Chains A and B, each alone.
Chain A
Amino acid sequence: MPASLSRVQSQSRLRGIGGLTLAEFLRWFPWRVLVFAASGVAVLVFARVVWAAEENAKLAPLLYIFFSLWVAVLVLSTVATTQGAVSSEIEEGTAAWLIAKPIGRPAFVLSKFAGAIPAVLIGMVGIPGAIARVVLKRAADNGDTDFTAAQVMDVIANSSSRDEYMNLPSMSRYLGLLALIGTLMLLVVAVMILLGCVVRAQTAVLGLGIAAPVGLLLVGQLAPTAVAELTPGWVLTSIVDIISDNPAPVLAPILVTVVWIWVTLAGAVLLFSRREL
Chain B
Amino acid sequence: MAAPALEIHDLNKSFGRNEVLHSIDLTVPQGSICGFLGPNGAGKSTTMKIVMGLLRPSGGRALVFGRDVHRDGVGARAQVGYLPQHTRFHPYRNCREVLSYVAHLYPGRRPASELRELIDEKLDAVGLADKANRRAGALSGGEAQRLGLAQALIAEPALLILDEPAASLDPHGRQQVLGLLDGLRGHTTVFYSTHILEDVQRVSDIVAILANGRVAALGPIEDLLEAPTGGWTVRIAGQVAAAREHLEAQPWVSSLTTRVRGDQELWTVDVTDDGTAAELMLPLLLSDESCDVMEFHRAERTLEDAYLEVVEASHGG
Where the two chains meet, the residues of A that have a C-beta atom closer than 8 Å to any C-beta of B are 2-13, 15-16, 19-20, 22-23, 92-94, 96-104, 274, 276-277
- On whether the beta carbons of A12 and B74 are closer than 8 Å, the reply is yes
- Evaluate contact between A101 and B105: CB separation under 8 angstroms: yes
Contacts A94-B88, A102-B105 given; indicate if A7 touches B77 (C-beta within 8 A).
no
Which residue of B has the minimal Cβ distance to A12? B74
Q: Min CB distance, A185 to chain B, in Å?
A: 24
The 15 listed contacts between A and B (C-beta, < 8 Å) are A3-B110, A3-B114, A5-B106, A5-B110, A8-B107, A16-B74, A93-B86, A97-B89, A98-B105, A100-B77, A100-B82, A102-B77, A102-B106, A277-B49, A277-B55
Is the CB–CB distance between A2 and B121 below 8 Å?
yes
Residues of chain A with a CB closer than 8 A to B82's CB: 100
- Given A2-B118, A100-B82, A13:B74 Cβ within 8 A: yes
CB-CB under 8 A from A23, the residues of chain B are: 101, 104
User: Are B88 and A5 interface neighbours, CB within 8 A?
Assistant: no
Expressed in whole angstroms, the minimum distance between the Cβ of B73 and any Cβ of chain A is 8
B56 lies within 8 A of A276 (CB): yes
User: Is residue B253 contacting chain A, with contact meaning CB distance below 8 A?
Assistant: no
Residue of B nearest to A91 (CB): B88
Smallest CB–CB gap between A76 and chain B, Å? 23
Docked complex Cα distance between A103 and B86 (Å): 20
Minimum CB–CB distance from A104 to chain B (whole Å) comes to 6
Shortest CB-to-CB span from B214 to chain A, Å, is 22
Which of chain B's residues have a CB closer than 8 A to the CB of A20? 105
Q: A19 vs B49: C-alpha distance in the bound complex, in angstroms?
A: 23
For B74, give its contact among A6, A104, A276 (CB under 8 Å): A104
Beyond A4-B118, A5-B103, A23-B101, whether A276 also contacts B90 by CB under 8 A is no
Known: A22-B104, A103-B105. A5 touches B78 (CB 8 A): no
> What is the distance, in angstroms, from B235's C-beta to the closest C-beta of chain A?
51
Please report B residues at the A interface, Cβ cutoff 8 Å: 49, 52-56, 72-75, 77-78, 80, 82, 84, 86-90, 101-108, 110, 114-115, 117-118, 121, 154-156
Of all chain B residues, the one with the shortest Cβ separation from A8 is B78
Are B74 and A99 neighbours in the complex by a CB distance under 8 Å? no
Q: Are B107 and A99 in contact (CB under 8 A)?
A: no
Residues B115 and A3 in contact, CB atoms below 8 Å apart? yes
CB-CB under 8 A for A5 and B55, given A19-B104, A94-B88, A101-B105: no
In this complex, what residue of B is CB-closest to A92?
B88
Taking a contact as CB atoms under 8 Å apart, the answer to whether B117 and A9 are in contact is no
| Bound: A94/B106 CA distance, A | 18
**How many angstroms between the C-alpha atoms of A7 and B156 in the bound complex?**
9
5 extra interface residue pairs, beta carbon distance < 8 Å, beyond A5-B154, A5-B155, A16-B105: A3-B114, A4-B156, A8-B107, A10-B74, A22-B104
Count how many pairs of residues, one from A and one from B, have CB atoms less than 8 Å apart in the complex.
95
When C-beta atoms are compared, the residue in chain B nearest to A26 turns out to be: B101
Report Cα–Cα, A16/B108, bound state, in Å.
11
| A276→B107 contact, CB < 8 A | no
CB-CB under 8 A from A97, the residues of chain B are 84, 87-89
How far apart are B20's CB and chain A's nearest CB, in angstroms?
12
Give the complex CA separation of A93 and B115 in angstroms. Answer: 26
Tell which of B80, B88, B101, B117 touches A96, judged by Cβ atoms closer than 8 Å. Answer: B88
Contact indicator A99/B118 (Cβ below 8 Å) = no
A17 (CB) vs chain B CBs: closest residue: B105
B77 touches A276 (CB 8 A): no
Find chain A residues with CB under 8 A from B87 CB. 97
Q: How far is the CB of B215 from chain A (nearest CB, A)?
A: 23
Q: Which of A15, A92, A97, A104 has the most CB of B within 10 A?
A: A97
Distance between Cα atoms of A96 and B56 in the complex (Å): 13
Cβ B105 vs Cβ A11 within 8 A: no
User: Measured between C-beta atoms, what is the minimum distance from B303 to chain A in Å?
Assistant: 29
What separation, in Å, do the CA atoms of A7 and B65 have in the docked complex?
Answer: 14
Q: Return A184 CB to nearest CB of chain B, in Å.
A: 29
Q: Once the chains are docked, how many angstroms separate the CA of A2 from the CA of B105?
A: 19
A9 and chain B: residue at smallest CB distance:
B107
A23 and B154 alpha carbons, distance in the complex (Å): 18
Cβ of A233 to closest chain B Cβ, rounded Å: 54
B101 → chain A closest CB, angstroms: 6
Which residue from chain A places its CB closest to the CB of B75 in the assembled complex?
A11
B105 touches A93 (CB 8 A): no
* Residues A15 and B74 in contact in the complex (CB < 8 Å), given A9-B107, A96-B54: yes
How far apart are the CA atoms of A61 and B89 in the complex, in Å?
49
Residues of A within 8 A of B102 (CB): 101
Instruction: List chain A residues, Cβ under 8 A from B73.
Output: 104
Q: Is the CB of A277 within 8 A of B54?
A: yes
Question: Which residue of B52, B55, B89, B115 is within 8 Å of A94 (Cβ)?
Answer: B89
CA distance in complex: A8, B65 (Å): 14
Cβ-defined contact, B156 with A5, below 8 A: yes
Contact yes or no, B53 A99, CB < 8 A: yes
Bound Cα distance from A98 to B73, whole angstroms = 13
| Max chain A C-beta neighbours (<10 A), residue from B54, B74, B86, B101 | B74
List of A residues within 8 angstroms of B114 by Cβ: 3
Name the A residues within 8 Å of B84 (CB-CB). 93, 96-97, 100
B contact residues around A6 at 8 Å (CB): 106-108
| Measured CA separation A93–B88 after assembly (Å) | 6
The answer to whether B78 and A102 touch across the interface, beta carbons within 8 angstroms, is yes
- Residues of chain A with a CB closer than 8 A to B110's CB: 3, 5
In the assembled complex, the Cα of A103 lies from the Cα of B74 at a distance in Å of 6
A271–chain B nearest beta-carbon distance, Å: 14
Q: How far is the CB of A22 from chain B (nearest CB, A)?
A: 7
